[in-house]
């Protein structure tokens, strides 16, 4: 896949210069799967530095779509201020017919300069839709409109105009001085045991995220490792492997959500596993106290009741 510089991409979209005065920076050229949490953290620092310039009204970040939602969410969790930050990507490469990069970049710049984008947190613009970074997820492997939000997009790009349909959920930024990246993500499935969870603990995991079944349940065989993690003060965050819906401590059977809640697992409500993992990394950078981590998840998660 040929990689273009920022200036080369901008040169392919002449209409950009009509929308805003642009300063282009080549921060990195990485495909999505090569992005790491610490790379995201350094990007966050650079974006914060740029936003601190009084002459800058907003930032657009181009990013590989495979991990775009994780990077955008990390910045959404940690950046303060109202200046728009908009992520965009492309589902087709520059060598393919129908390359969508130029249209998505133009939409992102239009979103960034729109007055109504201020104060909405980090945004994601792909396929003529504007999503909140806290909600957006890549839902299809190849479609041009691959990004989806459980409650619908915040807005659309309609014939070049940004039109917002609803407000964005925006949590208070987490003032984390560092990132704790030793957090592992595990997906539950029928009949799994706790071998992989124990391996995570043995290699020094500082936190665990479980994608449970349904509204938040796990096979009984994983419970011993969960108890060991909690006894060692390793926070365990629970999400659902389902694409939509909140968690609920509905079932009291062994491994059921009610039992997990009583054990002390942290319910991340509507967050998908990869985002819950990013949030736990950031939260642990604020505090390693499990009660404080739990509070950060309960107060700052979309889908949490007031």
> Per-residue pLDDT tens for 61-110?
999 999 999 999 999 999 999 999 999 999 998 888 888 889 999 999 99
CATH topology agreement for domains 6-164 and 183-300: yes
Arithmetic mean of pLDDT, 265-271 = 95
Taking 70 as the threshold, does the pLDDT of residue 53 lie above it?
yes
Q: Given this structure, which CATH class describes domain 6-164?
A: alpha beta
- Residue-range domain boundaries for the chain: 6-164, 183-300
Percent of the chain with pLDDT over 70: 97
Taking 60 as the threshold, does the pLDDT of residue 58 lie above it?
yes
Q: What CATH architecture does domain 183-300 belong to?
A: 3-Layer(aba) Sandwich (3.40)
Q: Contacts by 101-106 with C-beta closer than 8 Å and gap 24+?
A: 101/9, 101/12, 101/62, 102/9, 102/12, 102/13, 103/128, 105/9, 105/10, 105/13, 105/16, 105/60, 105/62, 106/13, 106/15, 106/16, 106/19
- Residue 125's beta-bridge partner residues? 130
Taking 90 as the threshold, does the pLDDT of residue 291 lie above it?
yes
CA nearest neighbour of 277 among 217, 218, 205? 205
What per-residue confidence (pLDDT) applies to 3? 73
pLDDT-derived band at 194 (thresholds 50, 70, 90) equals: very high
């Amino acid at each position: 896949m040929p990689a273009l510089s920022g200036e080369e991409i901008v040169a392919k979209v002449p209409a950009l210069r009509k929308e805003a005065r642009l300063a282009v920076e080549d921060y990195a050229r990485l495909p999505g799967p090569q992005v790491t949490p610490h790379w995201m953290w350094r990007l966050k620092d650079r974006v914060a530095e740029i936003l601190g310039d009084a002459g800058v009204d907003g930032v657009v970040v181009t990013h590989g779509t495979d991990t775009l939602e994780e990077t955008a969410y990390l910045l959404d969790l940690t950046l303060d201020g109202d200046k728009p930050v908009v992520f965009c990507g492309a589902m087709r490469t520059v060598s393919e017919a129908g390359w969508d990069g130029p249209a998505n970049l133009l939409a992102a710049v239009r979103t960034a300069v729109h007055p109504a984008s201020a104060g909405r947190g980090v945004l994601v613009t792909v396929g003529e839709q504007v999503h909140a970074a806290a909600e957006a997820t890549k839902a299809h492997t190849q479609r041009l409109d691959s990004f989806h939000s459980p409650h619908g997009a915040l807005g659309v790009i309609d014939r070049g105009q940004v039109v917002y349909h609803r407000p964005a959920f925006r949590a208070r930024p987490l003032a984390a001085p560092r990132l704790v990246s030793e957090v592992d993500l595990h997906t539950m499935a029928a009949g799994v045991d706790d071998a992989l969870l124990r391996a995570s603990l043995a290699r020094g995991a500082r936190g665990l995220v479980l994608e449970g079944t349904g509204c938040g349940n796990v096979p009984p065989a994983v419970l011993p490792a969960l108890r060991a993690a909690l006894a060692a003060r390793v926070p365990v965050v629970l999400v659902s492997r389902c694409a939509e819906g909140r968690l609920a401590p509905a079932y009291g059977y062994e491994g059921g959500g009610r039992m997990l809640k009583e054990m002390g697992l942290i319910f991340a409500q509507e967050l998908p596993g990869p985002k819950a993992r990013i949030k736990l990394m950031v939260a642990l950078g604020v505090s390693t106290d499990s009660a404080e981590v739990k509070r950060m998840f309960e107060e700052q998660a979309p889908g949490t009741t007031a």
